[in-house]
Amino acid sequence: MAATRRLTQQDIAKLAGVSQATVSLVLNGAASALARIPAETRERVQTIIRNTGYVPDPIARRMAKGSNRILGVFTYEPAFPNAHADFFLPFLFGIEEEAQARGYDLLLLTGAGEGAQRKIFAEEGRLRIADGCIVLGKTFDRAELAQLMAGDYPFVAIGRREDAGGPVPFVGGDYATATGALVQQARALGHRRLAYLGPIGPAESTSDRWQGFTAALGSDLQLVLKLQDTMAADDDLLDALLASRATAAFCVELADAVRLERAAKARGLALPADLSLVALGSHIRTEGSGTRFASFSIPREEMGRQATAMLVRRVEGGIAQAVEQVLLPCEPIGGETLGPAKVH
């Protein structure tokens, strides 16, 4: 045999004086099949494998077993640019940790598409290289989600997703409960006039926050300002808030809370003595502000870990098994921006 040629199972079979099928059983066979091979023969084959340094061809093993132990990760937005780093990186940390623990490699699928929106089923996509895929993003393409549901390809979404031709397997954060808990804190501190700044949909993560907020209002709290579009100048945004006489503002985006804090300080207003601010979700960075906002923590790493474990179960057990949908608790962050309501 040429020294530069890759050893094959046939080569090992010739050296051991057995059939190629016997070598394949020694390498890949179930315990019941191995029991039919004499112990001396098994040991002879295994010794030759060790002595020659034979490594099975991963492509051949995939063809034989239908698996190459690769999990795909698809993000609808670029995962690594600085603008998204605080959103995606914790998920990726958790995914990598769990995949490594379970003996799987990761393949980052970038897809293709027009503009910034990526497509899972783009013409140049390589989805089937991976045994299954984790899909995450701030927004999903609902048509693609329905296409995934209609197929036989194992996938798990990070973040709660509405049914798409059937229940979607996902691991998400319980934003509704966490938001409601912050409203309850505001109520206990005497706040009765609240503002809500930011979108209420269509993404499930934002609609869940809005649902949790409205459900917690009850009959004693009043929503005096609701702004879904917060693109106004910082001073204009603060003017609208002060004009509403809201004593606490709930901001869907941390960036809006930081803008209001900056504008309030410029006018000599103190937080939370003059105005309370709440951010509906934590971020790694605080957009240049050193303030610890009242908020809740999003267990991004744990979501990544549990989504990966769920995907492995679907890959190894088949997608016909019961669909799992998991919402993880988001722990409150006390912060320093939510205090007793100011009496007007």
pLDDT digit string, tens, across residues 178-231 = 999 999 999 999 999 999 999 998 999 999 999 999 999 999 999 999 999 999
pLDDT at 163 over 90: yes
Q: What is the spatial distance between Cα 211 and Cα 206, in angstroms, rounded to a whole number?
A: 9
Q: What is the spatial distance between Cα 161 and Cα 140, in angstroms, rounded to a whole number?
A: 9
**Amino acid 117: pLDDT:** 65
What are the CA-CA distances from residue 292 to residues 27, 241, 285, 286 (Å)? Answer: 56, 21, 11, 8
Q: What is the spatial distance between Cα 120 and Cα 89, in angstroms, rounded to a whole number?
A: 20
**Amino acid 285: pLDDT:** 53
pLDDT tens digits, one per residue of 104-152: 999 988 766 554 567 887 744 577 889 999 999 888 889 999 999 998 8
**Amino acid 137: pLDDT:** 85
25: which 2 tokens? 């059983």
CB within 8 A of 40, min separation 6: which ones? Answer: none
**Amino acid 280: pLDDT:** 95
pLDDT tens digits, one per residue of 266-315: 999 999 999 999 999 876 554 556 889 999 999 999 999 999 999 999 99
Are the C-beta atoms of residues 196 and 225 closer than 8 Å to each other? yes
Judging by beta carbons within 10 Å of its beta carbon (0-12, 13-18, 19+), is residue 224 exposed, middle or buried? middle
Please state the rounded mean pLDDT for residues 236-246. 97
Pick from 28-37, 78-87, 237-246, 320-329: least confident: 78-87
Cis peptide before 202 (omega within 30 of 0): yes
Pick from 2-16, 89-103, 322-336: least confident: 2-16
